[in-house]
Amino acid sequence: MAHILIIDDESCFTDMLSTMVGDMGHHVTSAYSIEDGMQKASMQPFDIVLLDVQLPDGSGLDLLPKIQALPSSPEVIIITGYGNPDGAELAIKNGAWDYIQKPFSIYTMTLLLVRALQYREAKHSNRMPFLLKRCGIVGNSNKMESCLELLASAAANEANVLIMGETGTGKELFARAIHKNSKRAQNSFIIVDCAALPSTIVESVLFGHEKGVFTGADKHRDGLIKQADGGTLFLDEVGELPLSTQKAFLRVLQERSFRPIGSKMEIKSDFRLVAATNRNLEDMVNTGSFRNDLLFRLRTITIELPPLKEHIEDIKELVFYYIAKLCGRYGNDIKGFSPDFLEALITYDWPGNIRELVHTLERALAIAHDESTLFPKHLPMDIRIKLVRANIEPVEANTSKKQAAGRALFLRMEDFRKNMDKEYLHDLIARVGNNIKEACRLSGLSRSHLYSLLKEYNISKPE
Amino acid sequence: MLVIILLFKGVIEDMAFLFYTNSSGKTKKQLQEIIHARMPGEEMEVYRTFDSLSNRLLRPLEGLSVAVLLVSSMEDLSNILTLCNVLWDMRLILILPDRNHETIMKGHQLRPRFLTHADCNPTEVAEVLCNMLKKYTQMRPF
């Protein structure tokens, strides 16, 4: 039984609608003005609000956002005696379930109510569990939220899932999170790294084999499909599966049973399938390197993970998370980072996605050593160079005269290197003061080599 | 044959991986020999005790992304499982001491990319290792 609130100032219409909704088995409350409606709406939760536009104390459309902000967040159906396309558009844009014009048939209203209630039920059943185990998935950007909603939906049922995304976007994390949030969480999560398995053993690894069935089969082997019984089978890089194996695996998906190589017995396995790829499987289907019928089976639910550059607003949270994780691994105090360090990370385009970010943070922490705060200078050289180049390239492109002048003054490489060496040595001495031992440690130079360079460039030696 | 080996070496010469074994069985010897033969240019960091493995994983990985763990016993496996929180970004090849269901299920808790047994064909492990090293180096655009 649903709770329906009718807000309409026409009492005969409200009575007729109340009777109709009551006959459908729902509980009805009536209100005749905005004030009355808002008061009743805030006193108890409602599933649906049927809202008139023309009310004695204002427009029902103004009430719409307030109703939607209620804790029960009811679906709102706008009812009006005056056809107004703009008003209808506004209502829908503001999140109304539908807009209906009087007069309408009982059948139309019944259908509308049934659909709205079905939608509401589906929405609640698909809603992300309050305590979704994120299993290391970080980020609350709109793109990540959408992926998490799909994750929650996938975890709630048994459908096959295909996770797509560039390398380093977290496909395995998502696969594991689906498993951990599913009813199979207590059973095994079995990974099949399709790209790592040589084609000669992939079927044996998946299906298992009997002893002596081929050269090298000295022992019986249980396949991973059997090991995944009751749990989740994760086919990573599924696009790398050989065509012959794709055909055999398709049969397993259809029948949930298989025959180990050399065996006469069919074995059943109740596994849930999650697959992942960084390749365009549709293109592979078009070129004949991936089976269309398998792709059709794999993508009952598809989750497309965005590259990091498309949810860069998550980078701060990612940096906090992974710095804490990495410092925890090394037993160090958690380091902070400067605003320009974060700015540099935001500016970079992360072709290797989150995995590249994690490696970068690891390298920055190693470079920073015992300094408590990370600065852009702690970023690996290759990233700093890319950032600098990205900053100066547009200027170079627009200054052809400057370029011409620059060419005239272009240094010989030997001279350029000498200038750089001299600058480096000045910086080094400025940093270490009189501590020659520290200068040798930082520069990696021997004491004698360092002294000879200082002499060559006429730089005062530390005492 | 020589050409093939050299080409192969060219692909993987700057790769490194970690090899843990505290077992003294023939698998360890066979595996090391075949890895050396297949990947003459590899950098293999070998750890022969659980403590040394544990200490290594508490230091920066510096490019190490693949580990071969040759587990000697159920106790050894239980110990390795305590390192789960520092193995999160390593791809594991796990070689289990036996084929018991309990051992296998416990082994999967480490989320290995390849799981096999001590009495396996070592060539198989070496091939998977080669593929993983090639793949994870090619995948790194940085």
Are both A177 and A300 inside the same structural domain?
yes
What mean pLDDT is predicted for residues B46-69?
90
Dist CA A67 CA A37 (whole Å): 9
Residue B86 touches chain A, beta carbons under 8 Å: yes
Residue A370 touches chain B, beta carbons under 8 Å: no
> Tokens representing B18?
């970690």
Dist CA B104 CA B119 (whole Å): 14
Contact A189 B114 (CB under 8 A): no
Q: Higher model confidence: residue A391 or residue B109?
A: B109
Dist CA A164 CA A153 (whole Å): 16
Q: ipTM score here?
A: 0.88
**Residues in a beta bridge with A5:** A29, A49
What mean pLDDT is predicted for residues B10-30?
74
Q: Which of A136, A193, A352 sits opposite B141 (nearest CB)?
A: A352
Interface test with B, best of A166, A174, A201, A220 (most B CBs within 10 A): A201
**For residue A454, what are the contacts with CB-CB under 8 A and spacing of at least 6?**
A425, A429, A460, A461
Q: At what angle do helices A447-456 and A413-432 cross, to 10 degrees?
A: 120
Angle at B35 between CA B51 and CA B4, to 5 degrees: 155
Q: What are phi and psi of A422, to 5 degrees?
A: -65, -45
Are both A77 and A171 inside the same structural domain?
no
Residue B130 to chain A, least CA–CA distance (Å) = 8
A178 within domain boundaries: yes
Residue A335 touches chain B, beta carbons under 8 Å: no
CATH code assigned at A112: 3.40.50.2300
Dist CA A205 CA B66 (whole Å): 20
A130 within domain boundaries: no
Are both A350 and A452 inside the same structural domain?
no
A135 within domain boundaries: no
Q: Which amino acid is at A131?
A: L
Dist CA B72 CA B118 (whole Å): 9
pLDDT of residue B129: 94
What mean pLDDT is predicted for residues B51-74?
91
Dist CA A162 CA A253 (whole Å): 14
Residue B135 touches chain A, beta carbons under 8 Å: yes
Contact A329 B58 (CB under 8 A): yes
Q: Is-contact A77 A116, C-beta < 8 A? A: yes
Are both A198 and A254 inside the same structural domain?
yes
CA distances from A17 to A2, A44, A210, A267 (A): 15, 20, 70, 59
Contact A218 B121 (CB under 8 A): yes
Q: Is-contact A14 A36, C-beta < 8 A? A: no
> From the centroid of its chain, how far is CA A276?
14
Q: Is-contact A345 A308, C-beta < 8 A? A: no
Nearest CA in chain B to A357: B142
> Tokens representing B19?
């090899």
What phi-psi label fits residue A73: left (phi over 0), alpha (psi between -120 and 50 degrees) or beta?
left
Are both A96 and A195 inside the same structural domain?
no
Last residue of a domain, one of A281, A304, A327: A304
Q: Is-contact A453 A425, C-beta < 8 A? A: yes
pLDDT at B48 over 50: yes
Q: At what angle do helices A85-93 and A60-68 cross, to 10 degrees?
A: 10
Are both A192 and A300 inside the same structural domain?
yes
pLDDT of residue A168: 94
DSSP three-state, residue B119:
coil
CATH code assigned at A267: 3.40.50.300
**Residues in a beta bridge with A301:** A161
A462 within domain boundaries: no
Residue B46: CB atoms within 10 A of its CB come to 13
Dist CA A236 CA A274 (whole Å): 8
Q: Is-contact B91 B61, C-beta < 8 A? A: no
Residue A191 touches chain B, beta carbons under 8 Å: yes
Q: Which residues of B touch A196 (CB under 8 A)?
A: 113-114, 128, 131-132, 135
Residue A196 to chain B, least CA–CA distance (Å) = 5
Residue B106 touches chain A, beta carbons under 8 Å: no
A172 within domain boundaries: yes
The secondary structure of chain A, three-state, reads CCEEEEECCCHHHHHHHHHHHHHCCCEEEEECCHHHHHHHHHHCCCCEEEEECEECCEEHHHHHHHHHCCCCCCEEEEEECCCCHHHHHHHHHCCCCEEEECCCCHHHHHHHHHHHHHHHHHHHHHCCCCCCCCCCCCCCCHHHHHHHHHHHHHHHCCCCEEEECCCCCCHHHHHHHHHHCCCCCCCCEEEEECCCCCCCCHHHHHHEECCCCCCCCCCCEECHHHHCCCCEEEEECHHHCCHHHHHHHHHHHHHCEECCECCCCCEECCCEEEEEECCCHHHHHHCCCCCHHHHHHHCCEEEECCCHHHHHHHHHHHHHHHHHHHHHHHCCCCCEECHHHHHHHHHCCCCCHHHHHHHHHHHHHHHHCCCCEECHHHCCHHHHHHHHHHHHHHHHHCCHHHHHHHHHCCCCHHHHHHHHHHHHHHHHHHHHCCCHHHHHHHHCCCHHHHHHHHHHCCCCCCC
Are both A95 and A44 inside the same structural domain?
yes
Interface test with B, best of A235, A326, A329 (most B CBs within 10 A): A329
Residue B104 touches chain A, beta carbons under 8 Å: yes
Sequence spans of domains, chain B = 65-142
Residue B105 to chain A, least CA–CA distance (Å) = 7
Give, for all 463 residues of chain A, the pLDDT tens digit.
889 999 988 888 888 888 888 888 888 899 998 888 888 888 888 999 998 888 888 888 888 888 877 878 888 888 877 666 777 777 776 778 888 887 778 888 888 888 888 888 877 765 655 578 999 999 988 889 889 989 998 999 999 999 999 999 999 999 999 999 999 999 999 999 999 999 999 999 999 999 888 887 788 889 999 999 999 999 999 999 999 999 999 999 999 999 999 999 999 999 999 999 999 999 999 999 999 999 999 999 999 999 999 999 999 999 999 999 999 888 889 999 999 999 999 999 999 999 999 999 999 998 898 899 999 999 988 888 888 877 765 545 555 555 544 554 566 777 777 778 887 888 788 777 777 887 887 888 888 888 888 888 888 765 5
Contact B124 A198 (CB under 8 A): yes
Helix (H) or strand (E) holding B126: helix B122-138
pLDDT at B137 over 50: yes
A173 within domain boundaries: yes
Contact A362 B112 (CB under 8 A): no
**For residue B20, what are the contacts with CB-CB under 8 A and spacing of at least 6?**
B46, B47, B48, B53, B67, B68, B69, B70, B80
Dist CA B86 CA B53 (whole Å): 11
Could you tell me the residue range of the domain that residue A178 belongs to? 142-304
Residue A190 touches chain B, beta carbons under 8 Å: yes
Q: Higher model confidence: residue B73 or residue A419?
A: B73
Residue A383 touches chain B, beta carbons under 8 Å: yes
Are both A383 and A240 inside the same structural domain?
no
Q: Which residues of A touch B140 (CB under 8 A)?
A: 352, 355-356, 359
Angle at A142 between CA A335 and CA A328, to 5 degrees: 20
How many distinct structural domains can be found in chain A? 4
DSSP three-state, residue B133:
helix
Residue A365 touches chain B, beta carbons under 8 Å: yes
DSSP three-state, residue B44:
strand
pLDDT at B73 over 50: yes
